[in-house]
Amino acid sequence: SVTMAHGHGHCSCCCGEAAAVSGGDQERGAAWGLYLRIDRQRLQCLNERREGSGALVFRAWEERKDRTQFVESDDDEELLFNIPFTGNVKLKGVIVVGEDDETHPAEMRLFKNIPHMSFDDTGREPDQMFSLNRDPAGDLEYPTKIARFSNVYHLSIHFSKNFGAETTKIFYIGLKGEWTEAHRHEVTICNYEASANPADHKLEQITPQTHFIS
């Protein structure tokens, strides 16, 4: 019961921080700094209408209300983000900002450590699922089950439905948590997985040596 009390105390502390605009706001913004730890070269958004737009929604917490950058889905309402990190992440919370209308995502499904997920893979059980409320201001935080998300090197976020529009629109996704550097061998494993095609592996092994010669 002690931990429960601690958890609740911590919770009210967050809200307090949000209310205190001066120092607290900055502190709160710092907690949402995981976007800096995303491997942008390998970040993927499937079913985005405009190529590269999915990457725009991962930015500073202070910019969560920026309406100029957004991703919109293409064929239907679904969006799937594959987010590789540059180390290991303990994911503690997610914020999702959309429009205050039917294009706002209504459901979010999180999967950890399954690189290169496709829509075919989303049939499996997510590590955590959230029903979302419309949140045009970025006020709502969805807390993850931290024990389940304490060692994440790759996060997939599947937005499976919205509030009834043909397409889904997202302005901002905030990721809160802690980052630690990966051990060398884990980095190697990730790079190896980065090429889905076995034929590519030979190329990958040759490439580094070429760099050394030049």
| Domain definitions of the chain by residue range | 29-181
pLDDT at 29: 79
Question: H helices of 134-197, where?
Answer: 184-194
- Residue 135 neighbours by CB under 8 Å, 6+ apart: 95, 96, 97, 98, 104
Please state the φ and ψ torsions of residue 40, each to the nearest 5 degrees: -65, -30
Inform me whether the pLDDT recorded for 92 exceeds 90.
Answer: yes
**Is 0.95 surpassed by the pTM of this model?**
no
pLDDT digits (tens, 9 = 90+) for 33-48: 999 999 999 999 999 9
pLDDT digits (tens, 9 = 90+) for 153-173: 999 999 999 999 999 999 999
Alpha-carbon span 138 to 95, nearest angstrom: 6
- Quote the radius of gyration of the chain (alpha carbons, Å): 18
pLDDT at 12: 34
* Residue 92, CA distances (Å) to 19, 33, 151, 202 in order: 20, 12, 11, 38
As a CATH number, domain 29-181 is 2.60.120.470
pLDDT at 182: 79
